[in-house]
Amino acid sequence: MNKLRTAAIAALAAASVMPALAARPESPKDKIILHAWSWSLDTIAANMKQIADAGFDFVQTSPVQTCFVGDNGGMALFSKPGDEVQGKWYYYYQPTDWKIGNYMLGDRDDFKAMCDSAYKYGVRVIVDVLPNHTAIDHTAVLPGLDNAVGGHENLYHANGFNPIRDYNDRYQCTTGEMGGLPDVNTENPDFQYYYLQYVNDLINLGARGFRYDTAKHIGLPSDPLDAKATQNDFWDVATGRKGVKGLSLLMPDSLYIYGEVLQDRNVKEAEYAEYMDQTASSYGHVLREVLASGDARNHDLGNWRHAAAPEALVTWVESHDTYCNAHESAGLTDDQIRTGWVFLTAREAGRPLFFSRPEGSTRENYWGTNRIGNRGNSEFFHPEVVAVNKFRHAMAGQPEELIISENGAVAEVARGNAGAALINFSDKKQKVKINTTLPDGAYTDAVSASEFKVKKGILEGTLAPLGTYILYAE
């Protein structure tokens, strides 16, 4: 949930990166995540068959731990003073205890029922977890949590109420207060034990993965120590490398874990990669620039801009933060987002995450019907989204080649000689003659039935504005 300044992201995106590390062997390749943002647990369960039919392998929930009750428990995604319905989506990012269930998304029984539904349809559940901080109003923390960690004062870092001034100072970044959220002493063994009980409870009920919010704000072994810490070992405990007070992470080899490690100038991507997959935030920024301009010529879309291996990255066109906070991506149309999604998901590497925009949202009304718990809009099962999701699965193991048209408007993601995705980034019709790895012959798009032909390694056809096309070799 931490934010990067746009200028910093852009500067990093343009910079060269260090050689990639090897992928972690447990990374589930060719899998796709639906971020069911702010959907209630009941809503996710009710839509599980459609999620599976759309080709998603994982569904990611919003945080389900006990949270701060803000705006008198109002259920608006976002409200201003005087609005008829009050509420803020981000209250579930303000823990008051680490127990399953909150007023925004559902209780423990709802979580179990949702996981049972996921199991039935072959979908795995990722839970958004956030051990880094508590609610801004830390007096709302429940007594059980305070008692478990040896008193309220032991819940926080010694530096935990000092605001971060420099996000590239690793001591400030990993021990300081972020956006008013006081920083938890994640190195306290009593806290680790208490938190791990919560995670294991989620696993026992059916969770099979975790997204660690604000992961770059939790220290690595090489980071400076807070005055209350003797070692930075949270990630060793959270990923199952070691236990704490006789308790260990359940099923560590069966879980998919990734961290929100938003990129900046002094982020230890290589060290985080030893523990988990990471978010490719800089790549998403570059892809959105291409979508906004309709032109890929001045952007190297083959460069993932990350120290970790491409296979160890969670990729997105947009995230809930880019949509909600400064509305960085919210001005892009659904058509543009879908075009970016087809390009991203057709690629060989990465773990694509599809952010479900709010129900009824428009480019004039970003919040749409403005209700927490409702299903997002229908884009997650749009025929072009479904087509590329299935294409990704079908192309497993096929190498990719990216080919950009001379005018930068059209991209081809060729996957060996087995198939290709064509993407028109522009809002104008494009007639193309573009190199391809597809065998000679006639091809028909899986969704629109548009026809293309390949002769002597050249693919020829016409693409509608912001159109996408999936082609399979027979």
Would you name the residues annotated as active-site residues?
213, 260
Contact 133, 95 (CB under 8 A): yes
Contact 346, 388 (CB under 8 A): yes
The two structure tokens encoding residue 319 = 């995230």
Burial of 473 (0-12, 13-18, 19+ CB in 10 A): middle
Give DSSP secondary structure letters for 15-49: S--PPPPPPPTT--TT--EEE-TTB-HHHHHHTHH
- Is the separation of the CB atoms in 131 and 238 below 8 Å? yes
**DSSP at 371:** -
Q: What end-to-end distance do the CA atoms of the chain give, in Å?
A: 45
Q: Which residues lie below 8 Å from residue 395, measured CB to CB, with a gap of 6+?
A: 30, 346, 348, 415, 416, 418, 419
What is the C-alpha to C-alpha distance for residues 83 and 79, in angstroms, rounded to an integer? 6
Q: Which residues pair with 67 in a beta bridge?
A: 95
Distance CA 121, CA 71 (A): 37
Within a 13 Å sphere around the CA of 418, how many CA atoms are in the beta-carbon half?
A: 14
Instruction: Report the alpha-carbon distance of residue 219 to residue 198 in Å, rounded.
Output: 21
- How big is the CA angle at 38 (ends 47 and 49), to the nearest 5 degrees? 10
- Strands 351-355 vs 33-35: parallel, antiparallel or unpaired: parallel
Give me the amino acid identity at 55.
Answer: G
CA angle 104/130/230 to nearest 5° reads 150
